[in-house]
Chains A and B, each alone.
Chain A
Amino acid sequence: ETGVTQTPRHLVMGMTNKKSLKCEQHLGHNAMYWYKQSAKKPLELMFVYNFKEQTENNSVPSRFSPECPNSSHLFLHLHTLQPEDSALYLCASSRSGDADTQYFGPGTRLTVL
C-alpha cells in the first residue's frame, strides 16, 4: 500500500545533528499526524495538522519541530535529540481531523547515538 509514504525508512544521527523526516500522502486527506512508537510501548500521538493548521501538540519537546506546507506533505524536523528519542516515527493521514480511519505510513526507524 503506497497511500502514505515516509522517507527515510531508517536514520541514524548523532545528538548534535539536524535531520528531517518526510511524509507524503496520496489519498486526498486533509489531516496528518505524527506518532512516536518506542520499543514495547504504545503509539504516542505527537502532532496533528488539519487543513495545514496545527491543531494538537501533545506536550512534545521543542527539539521536535513539525512543518506542514500543504495537506499532502508533513515534515518532522529534528535537532539536538537524545538517545531516548530513538523510536519508530509513524506518519498517518485521515479525511479530516475527526476520528476518521487513519492510514499509516511504514515509519522511519530513528536511532540517536
Chain B
Amino acid sequence: LAKTTQPISMDSYEGQEVNITCSHNNIATNDYITWYQQFPSQGPRFIIQGYKTKVTNEVASLFIPADRKSSTLSLPRVSLSDTAVYYCLVGVSGGYNKLIFGAGTRLAVHP
C-alpha cells in the first residue's frame, strides 16, 4: 500500500496562497493522487485528482513532479472558510481498499 505523509498542521492568513505537500515514496505506476477536504462533523469532499504534471480546477491546483513521489496541493488566496483538514490519498483502479485516509493536514486560516 502506498503510504502518504503530510504535515500535521499549517497556519495561514486570508488572501495568502497555501501549499500542502504530500509524500508518497512508494506510489505505484497505476496510482492516482487524490485530495479531499473535511470540515468538522462533515464528510470529506473531493477537491482534485491527478496522475502527473499539473492539474487545475476552480478550487485548487495539484502539482506532481516527474518522479511522482510527492504532490503539492495549492490553494490560491485562502479565506477563513478554507479552514479544514486536507487529506492526500493514493489509489489505483480496482484497489478500493487502497483508499486509506491518513491523519491529514489541519489548515487554520487566520484573519
Interface residues of A (CB under 8 A from B): 1, 4, 31, 33, 35, 42-43, 45, 48, 50, 55-56, 58, 88, 90-92, 94, 97-99, 101-107, 109
Contacts and interface: CB of A to CB of B under 8 A. Distances in A.
Interface string B17-60: 00000000000000010100000011111100100000000000
Given A42-B101, A42-B102, A101 B46 contact: yes
A42 B103 contact: yes
Interface residues of B, dominant DSSP = loop
Contacts of B103: 42
B26 to A, nearest CB: 16
Interface residues of B, number: 23
A5 B68 CA distance: 35
A98 B94 contact: yes
Nearest to A9: B41
